[in-house]
Chain A
């Protein structure tokens, strides 16, 4: 009996806090994505001709670590038995990727860059608990920022 009560309390706390943080995080992500909209990120390795001269380049990266809550971990554990989409983890990874990009953009903007080329992602689980119950993930985004040396204004 006390076991069940403790379990339900943990589950409720996990759900309550987890959902609250997630909603808050998504709101902040959407706001900042709008804010950094004009800082372009491009996957290409080939430097477009318009950037080939008159730019300084440097490495920028953004990384974030997000932990899973008790509720998500429990639902994912149940999912392991029957298979299918692990929907509770989808939002977790989505948030991590978008946050990493935003932090990278933030670093680039601080230096005055207006485009980041060759952007790549790395994801890893940084904590594998008992019996491989993954606790948290790290997302790392990195790329080459192009800082224009402005000689001809408005030209790209």
Chain B
């Protein structure tokens, strides 16, 4: 019996495809597919949710649901509410749309619009702002978000895209791939978020021009925000952020104001002294609170 074991040919049991080619083809194709799915779903959700009547939204979310104590009454909220009412009239809000302003005593330099026509201001932002026009720019920007139904549309997009991403990630059955799909969809949806900010900026400048006769404060606001971001130190590319970069927003506002012959400079109004005094008092209360030692248990 003549038996031998010749060396079998290589590459029978293994494919000749280069691993990197496989990697780029697969990751490129799948990421593009995820981005397209997320874009289409976001677009549909975004388009459809705005037909939900405001009354329905309001009946679902009457009060801001936030972990921090938000107040609707007092000198500061009353002042902001009257400013909101003045601006709302200039912004042609649809029938039945009401703005409710709340204030949270916190050092955070921020304000946001949320479901049910709620606008929330942090006292940190109010402290940083130097005049009423700049404050009106923030207010008009948040009211514009509500007028354009942005909080609701963002929620609609979030739910639809969330379900799609969870399904795709589940199919992948691999933690790393699931995370990648999640990140891709997040970066894709950020695009919608930045578009919303730009749209709200435009309406806000128009409201400012209509209310004061000039758009002073609009540019000051973003210079202020730019300065605040500069202090925190990191410069993130626009692609990774929810808001356009401050300098891009300033440029867009200048262009938009120029097109409509609105001056971006003009006499500014002071924030009333009682409001300033109350803000100072609130800030002192906040720092007092911090200095208090934690109760020993």
Contact = CB atoms under 8 A, between A and B. Distances in A.
Given A34-B7, A85-B15, A80 B173 contact: yes
A7 B181 CA distance: 13
Contact of A40 (B5, B23, B171): B5
Contacts of A76: 174
Interface in B174-222: 174-177, 179-180, 183
Interface stretch (B26-34, B44-52, B62-70): B26-34
A40 B238 CA distance: 65
A13 interface: no
Given A71-B23, A80-B177, A81-B177, 9 more contacts: A19-B19, A40-B4, A48-B3, A50-B1, A74-B176, A78-B23, A78-B26, A88-B19, A131-B174
A124 interface: no
A153 interface: no
Contacts of B261: none
B14 interface: yes
B110 to A, nearest CB: 21
B30 A87 contact: no
Interface string B1-25: 1011101000001110101101100
A41 interface: yes
A1 B240 CA distance: 8
Contacts of A37: 5, 7
Binding site secondary structure of chain A: helix
A73 interface: yes
Contact of A81 (B7, B15, B20, B30): B30
B168 interface: yes
A5 interface: no
A77 B180 CA distance: 11
A130 B179 CA distance: 14
B14 A80 contact: no
B23 A87 contact: no
B177 to A, nearest CB: 4
Contacts of B168: 81
B236 interface: yes
Interface string A1-24: 101100100000001000100000
A90 B14 contact: yes
Interface in B65-118: none
Contacts of A94: 13-14
A91 B14 contact: yes
A1 B173 contact: no
Question: Which of B7, B13, B183 has the most chain A CB atoms inside 10 A of its CB?
Answer: B13
Nearest to A93: B13
Interface string B230-256: 000000100010000000000000000
